[in-house]
Copies of this chain bind each other. A is one copy, B any other.
Amino acid sequence: MNPLHLQAPAPRPAAFLHQAGVPSSMEVGDPIGSRLRRLREQLDPVRRVVHAGETIFQAGERFAHLHVVNAGLFKLINTSADGREQVVGFKFRGDWIGFDGIADGRHKSDAVAMDTSEVWVLPYEQLLARSVQQPGLLGELHAAMSREIAHDRESMMALCTLPADARVADFLRYWAESLAMRGMRTDEIALRLTRAEIGNYLGMTLESVSRALSKLVRAGVIAFCSKGRRDVRIPDVEALGRFVQRYLVPASATLQ
């Protein structure tokens, strides 16, 4: 029996088929684009351009605005009281940034642009006021927060249950999927991250990331593009998923 349940719960319902990232109010084709379009119509937000390496806010600053990524790419960096630093997330086009500041009015992380990017600045109080009039807007906000919570849980799970190589494979899969969801090329992707950053995000050293990538190349699941080892070629995203699975067959792993 399932060791995590103190007592065996009722059997799992049949409709148990979910994976993160599938948006709810789905317009076929381009859910994220249409999400953004609706937001722009409803809020006509101020746009702000941020260049690579610049932040939209830093941990500790007063929270007053939420941001939505309209172009580019961000990483979120947390710093613990004792100075440990970690990349805790990435934000792509259509993602919201800044939820963790709502509770006590202070941002909890640095939001750093990884490329020239554009965010829409949404004054939180104004957003609330408009949400009250436009229920669709409120739904959008809640869905975004909900997705973030669900995704963070998936990350925790990957950290806890996957060995290093599989974690790297899973990370690439996640990245490719994020791009695909936004209608971007997924066969050749530019990570714009150092091995150290990837390792920091995945809880391993940069050497382990490098070795894992080399292994994935040897396994034929990925390849590096022409010059530089920063750009990754992924002929078949599904193959990454299968690579992750292969690691789970030995210790099939319900736990223990």
Closest 5 CB pairs of A and B: A7-B53, A16-B60, A160-B203, A102-B146, A103-B146
Nearest B residue to A252 via CB reads B83
- Give per-residue flags for A169-185: 1 if the beta carbon is below 8 A from chain B beta carbons, else 0: 00000000000000000
Contact A87 B24 (CB under 8 A): no
Q: Which A residues, 154 to 171, have Cβ-Cβ distances below 8 Å to chain B?
A: 154-157, 159-161
Residues of A within 8 A of B (CB): 2-10, 12-20, 22-24, 52-55, 58-62, 75-78, 80-89, 99-106, 108-110, 112, 114, 128, 131-132, 135, 138-139, 142-150, 152-157, 159-161, 194, 196-197, 200-203, 205-206, 245, 248, 252-256
Complex CA distance for A10 and B111, rounded to whole angstroms: 12
Min distance, Cβ A31 to any Cβ of chain B, angstroms: 11
Residue among B17, B81, B135, B153 making CB contact with A132, cutoff 8 Å? B135
Q: A24-B103, A105-B24, A197-B4 are in contact. Are A83 and B153 (CB under 8 A)?
A: no
Min distance, Cβ A229 to any Cβ of chain B, angstroms: 18
Nearest B residue to A100 via CB reads B150
Nearest B residue to A129 via CB reads B135
Q: Which of A6, A16, A110, A203 has the most CB of B within 10 A?
A: A6
Q: A85-B255, A88-B157 are in contact. Are A106 and B149 (CB under 8 A)?
A: no
Contact A138 B149 (CB under 8 A): no
Residue among B59, B84, B202 making CB contact with A16, cutoff 8 Å? B59
Residue among B18, B89, B144 making CB contact with A59, cutoff 8 Å? B18
Nearest B residue to A203 via CB reads B160
Q: Which of A13, A62, A104 has the most CB of B within 10 A?
A: A104
Which residues on B sit within 8 Å (CB–CB) of A154? 78, 80
Contact B103 A161 (CB under 8 A): no
Which residues on B sit within 8 Å (CB–CB) of A81? 17, 19
Complex CA distance for A103 and B114, rounded to whole angstroms: 27
Which residues on B sit within 8 Å (CB–CB) of A84? 157, 161, 248, 253-255
Which residues on B sit within 8 Å (CB–CB) of A8? 53
